[in-house]
Structure 1
């Protein structure tokens, strides 16, 4: 294969990376500010969880449809439609002064997010060479990580200086910028099945909501992203209960984002050269140690070390699992493979956020993180079982293994 075909940073790949950055920046700026907006419009605290949760539920429902449409209708229509819905919903937030309107807008926003994020991941997959897919998706993921590093803090900063109307309008402009960039991408056409479409391996049933070859990676991801739900939802109040300064939790997320970006710079390349085991095993072990440290958390030093370990581990396993999910699937099923992968991500975060609320109430916050360590350990055990099964089948030529 020629050197040109091996190139990652083409014009189109650069455009999708930058567009993804603007999408995630708009989303991350609203993440910590929406609860404040709910309070401003006079709704009770119980509505905060509903407003946040209904977004995830909407995105989760739309992802299988997005995956199927990506594989049958093409990348551009789905991506551009998702971006238009996402942009309109961002501007609509500025006029959502009743809880009923806000819930409708959040449903629309979740649909736009589900369509656009599933599409952008699939488009990025199309644009990188298969032999460098782990590395390319690692670079692609950096755009979202950079937005994560500054988006929430910037959103909170702006709420102290401007109105929510202005804040959501700025987020809408960021989304519109992503749309303008997306219009300049040359999209690849969906590929036809590699075998006879009537054969067992490529036949697609009418009730098509998952890509079965992506399920191993997606199931592992679910047990790992459960930990993210526990961290994002309960870590701030847990550290407050421990008597830590409020700035420490901000440092946690900055350290987390920094090590997440650092690991992405080499983990994808290592996956391409050595396979998933050399990336997934140390990455998951790093997350397990981080969760145990958060469970004990005797002082802020444990918090910061856990942030570094969690960022490093998550940055290793996430792009590797996405590349593995796509590589195991047929070329004409990349859209559904990405939809299956991101659905597992949503399910894990949502399940963790909801379940750990009951765990915290019954056993305390520290139990959340010991339980999370067990969840990741289960993922590691399942991975080893999968690898043993694949080796026994002597399927050494299967992509991504």
Structure 2
């Protein structure tokens, strides 16, 4: 005998259906993003080597990265308006073309102005990918699983750095620069096939908010997570730039292992933060900052290989969690029409924090040394424990957790 559930129970069951994360549009976005970032990371360490090999010297090598990031930041500022005017599908396609096509030009000319022009165009493509990718991932996510979707997206886009950064250097040494430029162009251009299935514009209707109507951008609600993430990114700029230099004399092999550990732990932590973000939300931010502080401070006083690896892993975990939590918080506090601008602000906090950290530490390291510099960096980060703690207090406790 078959028992049919009451109508109320059936309705309740229907309301608890979990919407899938990996929809076809999101998979296409991941393919496009992985192709774009694979192209970027493959050539990022190779173009400076190419510049040095053609006689540009250390100044020329530095300019290639500087111009690349200049193009990135300038385009990040313009990306929200570009998305609003042209739609997601068009700007993602433009980004892939800007990352892919200029790489072929390097086959024809090594003249420094041409190389810098290529870097500027590729930086522009990268800026669009950063802003449009995160905004569209949030757009495509089910409302109840946005944090989890951002965790999946963040973990996926961390993979290219693990694979393609070392691959570019290895290939350039063993097969030459030309094949690397061709592969970098192909990764981006072939990814154009995934763009066809992306939405041109948002097709979702934003529900009318109850009570107070949110502005598309509420800077009051965005300031704390932005400041916290910028400070964490500052530490990342210091460690990723100067940790290899601090270890180069005593343990050059350890530097490579440490960076690999960081490259792996950060996307894994970003995924985990997304997986549990709907339950713990902003309460993950304070432990993330503490982990970054602990890992950075540890590097100031430890010297054994295992201790260094442990400190870098602790930093990587905190960095990954902070990435996902701050981005999710910022998306949660704006209307859907504000997603592109939120993505732009978050990416600017990332880039500016890393840049300020690297430059500031570079000015300090000569007079005070690496150990004191790492300790001072950790001390600077202590200042954002207060806004992180306020976010922790603001977020309701998880179900079953006593309210402290």
Matched, 1:238 2:246: yes
SS where residue 297 of structure 1 aligns? coil
Change in CA separation of 1:3 and 1:306 when aligned onto 2, cut-off 3 Å: same
Check the 8 A contact 1:94/1:166 in 2, yes or no: no
Cross-structure match for 1:166: 179
Q: 1:212 to 1:88 in 2, by over 3 A?
A: farther
Which position in structure 1 is the counterpart of 2:381? 376
**Cα distance change, pair 195–130 in 1 and its aligned pair in 2 (3 A):** closer
Q: CA deviation at 1:274?
A: 2.1
Give the drift of 1:297: 3.3
**Given the alignment of the two structures, is residue 107 of structure 1 paired with residue 120 of structure 2, yes or no?**
yes
Whether contact under 8 Å (2:80, 2:340) holds in the other structure is yes
1:14 paired with 2:27, answer: yes
2-side partners of 1:102 and 1:124: how far apart? 32
Match of 1:92 in 2: 105
Distance 1:166 1:304, change over 3 A: same
Whole-angstrom distance in 2 between the partners of 1:190 and 1:90: 34
2:154–2:271: 8 Å Cα contact kept in structure 1?
Answer: no
Q: Which has the larger radius of gyration?
A: 2
For 2:128 and 2:317, the matched residues in 1 are separated by 28
Q: Of the two structures, which has the highest relative contact order with CA contacts closer than 8 Å and spacing of 6 or more?
A: 1
Tell me how far apart the structure 1 counterparts of residues 215 and 66 of structure 2 sit (CA, whole Å).
35
Q: Does 1:280 align with 2:285?
A: yes
Find the partner of 1:120 among 127, 130, 133: 133
Moved more, 38-47 or 180-189: 180-189
Output the CA distance in 1 between the equivalents of 2:273 and 2:322.
Answer: 8
CA deviations 1:167-214 (Å, max 9, x no partner) are 011011111122221223245527688779xx995378xxxxx96643
Is the 8 Å Cα contact of residues 214 and 335 (structure 2) preserved in structure 1?
Answer: no
Select 2:215's aligned residue among 199, 202, 207: 202
Secondary structure of 2:300's counterpart equals: helix
Alpha carbons 1:226, 1:375 under 8 Å: kept: no
Tell me the matched-pair count.
381
The residue that corresponds to 1:254 in the other structure is 260
Trace 1:1-400 onto structure 2 (pairs within 5 A). Answer: 2=15, 6-189=19-202, 202=215, 213-241=221-249, 243-244=250-251, 246-277=252-283, 279-385=284-390
Deviations, residues 273-295 of structure 1 (Å, cap 9, x unaligned): 12212x11111111111101212
SS of the counterpart of 1:184?
coil
Instruction: Give the whole-Å Cα distance in 2 for the aligned partners of 1:190 and 1:232.
Output: 40
Q: Distance in 1 between matches of 2:51 and 2:303?
A: 34
Decide whether the 8 Å contact of 2:294 with 2:311 is kept in 1. yes
Moved over 6 A (4+): 190-196
Tell whether the 8 Å contact from 2:297 to 2:378 is kept in structure 1 after alignment. yes
1:216–1:325 contact (8 Å) kept in structure 2: no
User: What CA distance in whole angstroms lies between the structure 2 residues aligned with 1:119 and 1:203?
Assistant: 17
| Structure 1 residue 382: Cα displacement | 2.4
Instruction: In structure 1, list runs of 5 or more residues that go unmatched.
Output: 205-209, 392-401
Contact preservation (8 Å) 1:87, 1:172: yes
| 1:68 Cα offset (Å) | 2.6
Aligned residues of 1:191 and 1:332 also touching (Cα < 8 A): no
Q: TM-score, normalising length from structure 1?
A: 0.87
1:320-351 Cα deviation digits (max 9, x unpaired): 11111111111111011101111111111111
8 Å Cα contact 1:5/1:129 also seen in 2: no
Cα root mean square deviation, aligned = 2.5
